[in-house]
A and B are shown apart, each in its own frame.
Chain A
Amino acid sequence: MEFFRIQKDIPFMKHAIVLNAISAITFVAAVAFLVLRGLNLSVEFTGGTVMEVAYEQPADLAAVRQVVESLGYADVPVQNFGTSRDVLLRLPVLAGKSSGEQSEDALAALKAQNPTVELRRSEFVGPQVGQELVEDGLKALALVIVGIMIYLAVRFEWKYAVSAIIANLHDVVIILGFFAFFQWEFSLAVLAAVLAVLGYSVNESVVIFDRIRESFRRHRKKTTPQIIDNAITSTISRTIITHGSTQIMVLSMLLFGGPTLHYFALALTIGILFGIYSSVFVAAAIAMWLGIKREDLIKPGNKASEVDPGDPNGGAVV
């Protein structure tokens, strides 16, 4: 079985401008949504109480909302969670009341309205802890970016590091843009997924760069855009199959993982799909525009590397 019967190198870099324009537009759109709509941050970041209750029959959301409002909370999000019998409530932080009291009062009121209600899960995060989690998340993001840039600069060259990070941050912003647009809940788990996607995405770019380095060594006559095209084309089968396999795992999570993992799996899916685009086209194109050359990767004066591995007489000394 071979899905990728490609005759010759696909000239991707000819269309570099178009490809990058598309990615720039989506990037701007994502930023716009982030700014205009903002992320729907979960309780872990904002502080507050979340309660998940289960009824035996499909829940009457309007009645639940009424009960909650009668307790004095205005405009509390009440929604189904997973099945129609599960309801998720989010209570804001109330000064003067401990979380325990808040959730107990709420549960008592709900029980009064419908005795079959059962508390499946409740979570309270103080606002100070929420603030710290936001800071920690940002620090983690910063550490990942710096770490990856250093590693790539050492393994390849700074131009590669810069292009990889720009292309892959673009991924991260797009995921956040999706979450802002659809107002999906952005929780700690989703943040973890985003960071994992960043690592995975850079992984992709690394494979391409590695191939570029090898092509620079092997094909002395080709120009940089041709080298890049060659690198992308020869790795395209591996790229698609790997992304496909990871997507199968994530799909399995989407289907079987239940509501807790739902947004986590969604973030991963978006990351994987856009990852192909950004890591392959955008990273390579930016590297090309930054002016990568054969000499960046191959140190001059090193006799061994001047030998063309494709040359049958290479290395021969008379």
Chain B
Amino acid sequence: MNRYPLWKYLIIAVALVIGALYALPNLFGESPAVQVSAARTVVKVDLSTVTRVEQALSAQGLVASTVQFEGTSVRARFEDTDTQLKARDAIERALNPDPADPAHVVALSLLPRTPAWLAALGASPMYLGLDLRGGVHFMLQVDMPAALQRRADVLAGDLRTALREKNVRHGGVNRNGVNIEVRARDDATLEATRAVIQDQFPDLVSSDAPDGSEFRLVASIKPEAARAVQDQALKQNITTLHNRINELGVAEPVIQQQGADRIVVQLPGVQDTAKAKDILGRTATLEMRLVDESAEGRAAADGTGPVPFGADRFPMRDGRPAIVKKQVLATGENLTDAQAGFDSQQQEPSVTLYMDAKGGRVMRDVSRENIGKGMAIILFEKGKGEAISVATIRGELGNRFQISGSMNIVEANDLALLLRAGSLAAPMEIIEERTIGPSLGAENIAKGFNSVMWGFAVIVAFMCAYYMLFGVFSSLALAFNLILLVSVLSMLQATLTLPGIAAMALALGMAIDSNVLINERVREELRNGAAPQSAINAGYEHAWGTILDSNVTTLIAGIALLIFGSGPVRGFAVVHCIGILTSMFSSVVFSRGLVNLWYGRQKKLKTVSIGTVWRAGGKPPAIKAD
């Protein structure tokens, strides 16, 4: 009766092998490394970069364990952190000859030392959370009402223009909060307005809101349109953040949307947190200026004269200089959107820019007086400007205007991206921030694992002493549980935090409960005079129902934490839940497998080694057991 069919042993063996394989990478530790990636989209990182890195290192007499091209970056691993730091400087000097304009991001990082054969299987060590690695975590909240207000601004301007075109004499189109109010003298005007809105403004829905004796219409943005605005604002901000974070030289930044209006930014391994905060909080860096078309300006553009007074010089994408007046017409704050598309008249690739009310007014005034002149858009990165677009003003501009000509569709897309990147769609505010110094990170790991190891050792010692051979089986099951837990966490690449390690310790403490239940039950059966084989069988059977119930209740608590938890608590909940599941498998199936292997075949089993089976009342036992 205590025989497992072969397939069950196979399952256990396979689980053991897989568990061991996927838990193994965690033992290899990490090596200090330098990671080289592209700082700008035009820079290519490939095998030739590998050669350059190797040359830079050998020129300084530095030895790297390996230099490889992985994914989108070149990674060089070193033996110790001293070599790593020197190597970083050497590579930085070699690959970025102009420190003011770096082409590559050369970052310090810690890379796992997983051997190639393991990595080929997809095994990698557990993903360590910030409190174990050190680094910075921000949660930013996007001011959605502001984004909606800007959109309402744009729409109000468009509505004004549309009404003028249709000759509807209104008494005022104004933005009120996130809605647009249109006043009129009579109902016919309102009717006409309503028609215009219905025809030309699919995003707006109008409703009458009479204000005393005045006729008034309130147009509000439809919920789907509002959601689209919010989505777009969030994505635009994420793009902007991406570009800014690249400057920091962080190896593996995490930038994610969380919920409808929040962004989470995690920068592991960042030492200089003040700089990180500064860069994230920077304001828009886009400027629109008129081109200096005077004789001196043109001479300066040709290179035959100096930059005139009252003008600035900025390089264009193709290297030629653009001479622009110092006066700033509008900034990125006034730019609400930029979309690539096709010119309505000539089907040329173009970029449409949307400005807010203030920007639109400025554009209108300036363009009316400067038709035929050039206007440049300057993008400031790290304090240095680049003229990303110089176009001729063809007509009166307003809230919305197009730049077209001499671009192919790829360039148009790039330009739209750059325009969006240089401006924030809506202001962001840091609502949560966590900085962990690197030394604390390493300390936390050590503390966590010490507590797990010592607790484990004491429990194992106790179990073996109290339950003899069954105790040994229980301890082996516990070890198997730990291996399975670590391997599942490594496979899922779930984030391990300090509370997560605590959850590991707790899971082990709770897992032993199942084995104690089983062992005590077997002892009880033996005490009541059952034969050893049937005692083992009965023990496992009776205990299973209780084990299931108790694990499910603990699992309910774990799932609740998983749903409502965040940050480190989430790390705790993940390990907790996985630990319960692995413990059900290891305590019951694995330990039974071991017991069956050992005792199963012995038909005339007389004794089992389960420690003292004490009987009350001094009755001589029917079957002896010790």
* CB of B205 within 8 Å of the partner chain: no
**Residue from B277, B505, B512, B517 in contact with A252 in the complex, judged by beta carbons closer than 8 Å:** B505
Interface residue B466 (Cβ < 8 Å from any Cβ of A): yes
Contact B561 A148 (CB under 8 A): no
Report which of A140, A247, A256 forms a contact with B451, defined as CB distance below 8 A: A256
Verify B516–A238 contact, CB threshold 8 A: yes
Closest to A150 in B: B556
For chain B, give the interface size range: 35 or more
Given contacts A200-B554, A234-B524, A246-B513, contact A241 B466 (CB under 8 A): yes
Q: How far is the CA of A265 from the CA of B434 in the complex (A)?
A: 22
B509 touches A151 (CB 8 A): no
Known: A6-B616, A140-B561. A147 touches B556 (CB 8 A): yes
Q: How far is the CA of A234 from the CA of B542 in the complex (A)?
A: 13
Given A140-B560, A148-B553, A260-B498, answer yes or no on A121-B433 (Cβ-Cβ < 8 Å): no
Q: Are B430 and A99 in contact (CB-based, < 8 A)?
A: yes
Q: A1-B611, A234-B524, A252-B505 are in contact. Are A100 and B546 (CB under 8 A)?
A: no
Q: Which residues of chain B are near A133, meaning CB under 8 Å?
A: 566
Q: What are the residues of chain A within 8 A of B554 when measuring CB–CB? A: 196, 199-200, 202-203
Whose C-beta in chain B lies nearest to the C-beta of A258? B447
Q: Which of A8, A140, A203, A250 contacts B553 (CB 8 A)?
A: A203
Contact assessment for B557 and A195 in the assembled complex, using a CB-CB cutoff below 8 Å: yes
Contact A253 B516 (CB under 8 A): no
Query: Chain B 495-525, CB within 8 Å of chain A: the 1/0 string?
Result: 0001100110110111011001100100110
Cβ–Cβ contact B458 & A248, under 8 A: yes
Per the bound structure, the CA–CA distance linking A305 and B617 in Å amounts to: 31
Report whether B564 and A137 are in contact in the complex, using a CB–CB cutoff of 8 Å.
Answer: yes
A201-230 to B contact mask, C-beta < 8 Å, 1/0: 011101100110010000000000000000
Q: Is A192 an interface residue (CB 8 A)?
A: yes
B506 neighbours in A (Cβ, 8 Å): 196, 246, 249-250, 268
B564 touches A256 (CB 8 A): no
Name the contact of B505 in the complex, choosing from A120, A139, A253 (C-beta under 8 A).
A253
B432→A126 contact, CB < 8 A: yes
| Residues 225-278 of A contacting B (Cβ, < 8 Å) | 234-235, 237-238, 241-242, 244-253, 255-258, 260-261, 264-265, 268
Set of chain B residues within 8 Å of A210, measured between Cβ atoms: 545-546, 549
**A250, B281: Cβ atoms under 8 Å?**
no
Report chain B residues within 8 Å CB of A235: 520
Of the candidates B430, B459, B572, the one whose C-beta lies within 8 Å of that of A249 is B459
Residue contact B455 to A139, C-beta cutoff 8 Å: no
The closest CB in chain A to the CB of B504 belongs to A249
Interface of A is mostly: helix
The 8 Å CB contact of B455, one of A6, A148, A251, is: A251
With A192-B499, A192-B569, A199-B556 given, is the CB distance from A253 to B451 under 8 Å?
yes
B553 (CB) vs chain A CBs: closest residue: A202
Judge whether A98 and B513 touch: CB under 8 Å.
no
Assuming the contacts A104-B274, A210-B549, A245-B459, asked whether A196 and B576 have C-beta atoms less than 8 A apart, the reply is yes
Cα–Cα distance between A260 and B559 once the two chains are bound (Å): 24
Q: State whether the Cβ of A61 lies closer than 8 Å to any Cβ in chain B.
A: no
Q: How far is the CA of A265 from the CA of B455 in the complex (A)?
A: 13
Which of chain B's residues have a CB closer than 8 A to the CB of A153? Answer: none
Shortest distance in angstroms between A305's beta carbon and chain B's nearest beta carbon? Answer: 15
Q: Which of B435, B459, B545, B569 has the most CB of A within 10 A?
A: B569
Closest CB in chain B relative to A284 CB, distance in Å: 15
Known contacts A126-B432, A192-B569; A249/B509 CB under 8 A: yes
* Contacting residues, chain A, for B139 (C-beta < 8 A): 129
Given contacts A104-B274, A189-B499, A196-B506, contact A242 B565 (CB under 8 A): no
Q: Look across to chain A and name the residue whose beta carbon is closest to the beta carbon of B499.
A: A189
Q: Are B281 and A255 in contact (CB under 8 A)?
A: no
Asked if residues B542 and A214 are in contact (CB atoms below 8 Å), the reply is: yes
In the bound assembly, the distance between CA atoms of A251 and B463 in angstroms comes to 17
**Given the complex of chains A and B, what is the CA–CA distance between A189 and B572 in angstroms?**
8
B614 touches A206 (CB 8 A): no
CB of B433 within 8 A of CB of A118, answer no
Select from chain B the residue with minimum beta-carbon distance to A264.
B502
B610 to chain A, nearest CB (A): 10
Set B277, B509, B512, B616: member contacting A250, Cβ < 8 A: B509
Q: Mark B237-248, 1 if CB is under 8 A from A, else 0.
A: 000000000000
| CB neighbours of B141 from chain A (8 A) | 126, 128
Asked if A260 contacts B444 (CB within 8 A), the reply is yes
Which of chain B's residues have a CB closer than 8 A to the CB of A198? 557
Determine whether the beta carbon of B566 is less than 8 Å from that of A136. Answer: yes
Which of A128, A152, A241 meets B431, CB within 8 Å? A128
Please measure, in the bound complex, the distance between the C-alpha atom of A264 and the C-alpha atom of B567, giving whole angstroms: 16
CA distance A200 to B558 in the complex (A): 10
B552 within 8 A of A: yes
Assess A195 versus B443: contact at CB under 8 Å? Given A7-B617, A241-B466, A242-B516: no
Residues of B close to A52: CB separation below 8 A: 440
Tell me whether A207 and B505 are in contact in the complex, defined as CB-CB below 8 angstroms, given that A251-B455, A260-B444 are known contacts.
Answer: no
Contact of B28 with A by CB under 8 A: no
Indicate if B573 sits at the interface (CB-CB under 8 A).
yes
Choose one: A118, A121, A258; the contact of B435 (CB below 8 Å): A121
Smallest CB–CB gap between A94 and chain B, Å?
13
- What residues of chain A lie closer than 8 Å to B542, measured between beta carbons? 214
Q: A100-B430, A122-B435 are in contact. Are A192 and B565 (CB under 8 A)?
A: yes
Q: Which residues of chain A from 81 to 103 have any CB-CB distance to chain B below 8 Å in the complex? A: 98-100, 103
Tell whether, in the assembled complex, residue B437 and residue A195 are in contact, meaning their CB atoms are under 8 Å apart.
no
Q: Which of B273, B281, B450, B506 has the most CB of A within 10 A?
A: B506
Contact A119 B508 (CB under 8 A): no
Partner pick for B444 among A188, A214, A258, A265, CB 8 A cutoff: A258
**Chain B neighbourhood of A241, CB < 8 A:** 466, 516, 520
Chain B residue nearest to A250 (CB atoms) is B509
A residues near B549, Cβ cutoff 8 Å: 155, 206-207, 210
The answer for the CA separation of A253 and B236 in the assembled complex, in Å, is 45
5 contacts between A and B (CB under 8 A): A120-B436, A148-B556, A192-B569, A245-B513, A265-B502
7 A-B pairs closest in CB distance? A199-B557, A252-B455, A126-B431, A246-B509, A249-B509, A203-B550, A249-B455
> Apart from A143-B563, A199-B555, A207-B546, what 13 extra A-B contacts exist at CB < 8 Å?
A2-B613, A5-B614, A98-B429, A99-B430, A119-B435, A137-B564, A143-B559, A191-B569, A192-B561, A196-B554, A207-B549, A245-B509, A250-B506
